[in-house]
Structure formats: structure tokens, C-alpha cells
Structure 1
Amino acid sequence: MIRKYLLAGLFTLLPLVVTLWILRGIFTALVGIFREPLTFLAHLIHVPDPPTWALALFSGLATVMLLVVVGALMGNFIGRQLLSWLDELMMSVPVVKTVYGATRQLMGAIQSGRGGSFKEVVVVEWPHPGSYTLGFVASRDCSWAIPGGQGMLAVYIPTAPNPTSGYVIMIEASKVRPADLSADQALTWAISGGVVVPPRTGTGSFRLPEKP
């Protein structure tokens, strides 16, 4: 009986604990960004160091303002030109350009959905025969990497519970099958570790790849 109650309590509180853990990480990162500048400013004007709640409040407001300003800049020519110069600067720094360029292209693909990138959900046999998982079509041409790769797909396979640390595989188009799922449904399934399943009828169903 005690074991039953322990398991029931664990599964009830686990989503809350995971959510609080993620929010705590975001909170700590935001506070860390502005801690040094605010502390330096406090010393400069001879006032006590700001408390943690003040750092958190200022960090949150500053982050929102930064996002708004960047979004507004993207809406006019001068702002786009400034961001273009920033891109050129970042892409001219060794090592930094690799990370920055890849992240920039990934975000652009997700935001615009170019060529169906990360919009089309498919079923792939991975990581070994007899095992299947869901993936997202990133591109439909791998000829740049493999001779005859025009018929191959680059498929991104998210991991659980963090879908941003997934795998990218190149696979023949004939070995994947479309899944009647939205990108949100597939991501929810991956993040939940397969616990949250899409509806079984109508939208939200998928077919296993047929054996050749």
C-alpha cells in the first residue's frame, strides 16, 4: 500500500518538479547575465548590491525589452542592415562562425519552414532494424554528401526529454513513411518519452514503413 502511494505521489509531482527545474535554470541564466553589470553599477554609485529578486525582475524586463527591440529592428531597413553587419562580424570569427552559422540556419528553417523543413513528420526504422521512431524531414537532397543522394532525405530525430539534442541521419526516401501527425504532436510524444500518444483516429496516426 505504501509503495502504491509513493508511486502515485511520484508520478503526480514529477511533471511539476521537471517544470520548476527548467524554470529555475532559465531564472539562473537570466540573473547571471545581468549580475555583474548591475553589481558594478551599484558599486559605481555607492549603493548596496541589488538583491536576488531585483536582479531577477530586471533580468526578465531587460530580456523582454531586448526581444522587442530586435523584433522591431527586423521591421525596417536600418535594423536589417545592422543585423546584417552583425551576421558578417560573427561569421568572420573562427570557431564562433561554426556555431553561430549552424544555429542561425536552424532557426531560419524552423521559423520559415523552407522546403517543408521540420514540418513534415515521418516514421523511420532507427537505430536498428525492427525499431521505429519519429523524425522530421530537414531536407530532401543529400547529393552534396553522397553520390546519388538526390533520392535521400536528411531526417532529424529528436531525443527525450530534450528534443534539441537529437540526431541527424541520411536515409533513402523509400525507407521512410509519412506520419499523419503535426510537428507539435510529434514533439510532445518525444518530450514525454512516448507517454503522451496522439489520437488513434483521424489526424494523429502513423504507419510503419513497409518491408522491402
Structure 2
Amino acid sequence: MKDLGLLARLRRYFVAGILVLVPIGVTLFALRFLVNLLDRSLNLLPDAIQPENLFGFSIPGLGIVLSLAVLLVTGMLAANFFGRKLVEWGERILNRIPVVRSIYSGSKKIAETMFSGKSDAFRQPVLIPYPHENSWALAFVTNNNLGEIQYRTGTDVVGVYVPTTPNPTSGFNLMIPRDQVIELDMTVDEALRMIISLGVVVPPWQGDGQTAARELERKATDPDR
């Protein structure tokens, strides 16, 4: 019995160690990857002012400072009259190059949608029936107006992005009938945490079982809801 008690304590200590060290390790790995990625921006500097040549050693994280400085300076230039004219002139040149035009316009549209704050894209977590009608998947609304796609299908459809787990940067772009999309109360951050954690981290909900039951009953009696 004492041996069993000792094994149980060792197992508990082992699990406790995993719960402490694994999140720290994953966080450090992600930060190291980000720092190394941004440090590559230092390669844009002339050799004479490279940190290795100036100080004799590399400075981890200096690329983050440089990247932030470039973003701030670019934003300051683009926000004034002359900067806007310069950006417009550069865009006209890029839009005349066949392949570059498609890449630039597409990436610009994505950036404007994601960061301008003027779009509802990726602001509403939803549930959709995927990959079949008897299962559900977390998704994010990307577009409420699909133009030709909505006309061709003859259905009121919504564009959604279904991220993969545990890596939400890859996923599937789907068009789902609006009446099959269930809006959620959880925030985008909470939905992402649930996806990254393989569904283990479920955000708290203010509703209760009776509220959910009444909602399901309303949907059953009112299919257009």
C-alpha cells in the first residue's frame, strides 16, 4: 500500500511539473521563433552598421526594435499629405506589373480588412455544421456580402473561416447558409484559446442549461431564426 501511495504522489508531482513547464516551454519557443524571425530584418542594414560589426556580438531582439521603428516611421509618413501622395505613386507603379499587381492588391485588401477596424471580419465567433450536419466546428465570420456567390447559389450565405487546431493560421474558407450559422457569446480571443488548446480550454458562459434548451426549442419551432 505504501508503494502505491508513493507511486500516486510521484505521478501527481510529475503531472504538476508538466502543467507548469509545458506552457512555459511553448511560450518561450513561440517568443524565440518570433524574435529570430524579426531579427532577420537586421539583414537589411548595411554591413558597416550590422550589430556584429559594431559591437562584436549579436543583440537578440534588436530586430523587433528595428521592425517597430520601421512601422512607426512608415505610418507617420503615410499619414501626412506628401506621404499619401508617395504611397499613391508607388501603388500606381505596382498596379502596372501583372503578377505583382495581383499579389499586392490581394495582400492590401487583407491588411485593410484585418487591421483597419472598419470591417466585421474575424470579429464574430460562430458554430457551423462541419464537416457534416451532425457535428459542429468553431469558425469566424469573414464576410456577410458574397455578391456573385450569393446570387449563383440562390441562398443567403455567409463567408466563414474554419481554423485548424492547434494551428489556427491554416484552415478552410467556406460559404454557409446564414440560417445554419450560430453566433456565440464568446470573444475572438476565447475562441482562439479553445482552438489552440484542442478544445480543452472552454470559456465560461453566463447562460445556463435552461437558456440553451429554450434557444434550441425556439430554433426548432422557428426554422427561419
SS for the counterpart of 2:106 is helix
Counterparts in 2 of 1:172 and 1:5: CA distance versus 1, 3 Å: same
Residue in 1 aligned with 2:57?
51
Give, in whole Å, the separation in 1 of the partners of 2:99 and 2:107.
Answer: 13
Mapping for residues 15-54 of structure 1, pairs under 5 Å = 15-35=23-43, 37=45, 40-41=47-48, 50-53=56-59
**8 A contact 1:143–1:149 mirrored in 2:** no
Give, in whole Å, the separation in 1 of the partners of 2:189 and 2:77.
Answer: 29
Instruction: Tell whether 2:88 aligns with 1:84.
Output: yes
* Structure 1 residue 26 displacement after superposition: 1.4
Identity of aligned residues (%): 32
TM-score, length-scaled by structure 1: 0.78
Give, in whole Å, the separation in 1 of the partners of 2:43 and 2:116.
Answer: 35
Q: 11, 14, 17: which is aligned to 2:22?
A: 14
Residue in 2 aligned with 1:103?
107
Q: 112, 134, 142: which is aligned to 1:130?
A: 134
Structure 1 runs of 4+ aligned residues shifted over 6 Å read 205-209
Q: Structure 2: which 5+ runs fail to align?
A: 1-6
Q: 147, 151, 157: which is aligned to 1:152?
A: 157
Instruction: Tell whether 2:147 aligns with 1:140.
Output: no
Give, in whole Å, the separation in 2 of the partners of 1:20 and 1:92.
Answer: 44
Letter in structure 2 aligned against 1:84: E
Count of matched residue pairs? 204
Counterparts in 2 of 1:35 and 1:109: CA distance versus 1, 3 Å: closer
Give, in whole Å, the separation in 2 of the partners of 1:35 and 1:154.
Answer: 39
RMSD of the TM alignment (CA)? 3.1
For the pair shown, the structure with the greater C-alpha radius of gyration is 2
When structure 1 is superposed on structure 2, of 29-38 and 152-161 the one drifting more is 29-38
* Structure 1 residue 127 displacement after superposition: 1.7
Alpha-carbon deviations, 1:116-137, whole Å to 9, x = none? 2222222101122322122111
